[in-house]
Amino acid sequence: MSLRAPADVLPHRPPFLFIDVVSEVVDGTSGRGTWRLTGDEWFFAGHFPGRPTLPGVLMCEAIAQLGAYVVLSDPKTEGKLPLFGGLDSARFRRQVAPGDTLTLEVTLGRLSSRAGKGSGRALVRDAVACECDLMFVLVEA
C-alpha cells in the first residue's frame, strides 16, 4: 500500500511540518517516518550559533505529528484534529545536528472518540535521540 504524503494528511505546513516521509502505518496503532535535517531549517541559526542543535521540543513535536498522521489515517477519525493534551517522560539522549536524519516511531495506546495516548521515539543511526509519552485530544477540524 502506498502511503500519502504527510502534507496530504496533516494540517501542518512548512516551516512547522517536521515529517518528510511516512514509511509505515500499522492498523491505526503505530507508524514510522523520517525527518531529514538539512541545516537550512529556521531554528538552527539561533539554537546554537557555532553548534547548531535541534531543539528537543521539536523532536517531541515531530513524534506527535507522526502520531497525528497515524490517527488521521483511520477513517473513524475523519473530520477530527488531534491536539496535544500532554507530554510526559520526555528524555533527550543525544544531540541532533544538521545533516542528521531522524527516524521517528510512534505507538498508540488507548484511543477513544475524544482522546488518546501514545509513545514514541526519535533515532539517529539507530541511537535514541528522544523518547516521550504523548496525550492528545480529538476536536472537530
Q: Is 81 exposed, middle or buried (0-12, 13-18, 19+ CB in 10 A)?
A: middle
Is 47 known to be catalytic? Answer: yes
The partner residues of 66 in beta bridges, in order of sequence, read none
Neighbours of 1 (CB within 10 A): 4
The C-alpha atoms of residue 7 and residue 9 are separated, in whole angstroms, by 5
Of 3, 28, 32, 47, the active-site residue reads 47
Q: Which three cell numbers stand for residue 107?
A: 505507538
9 alpha-carbon distance from chain centroid: 13
The C-alpha atoms of residue 60 and residue 104 are separated, in whole angstroms, by 10
Catalytic residues, by residue number, are 47
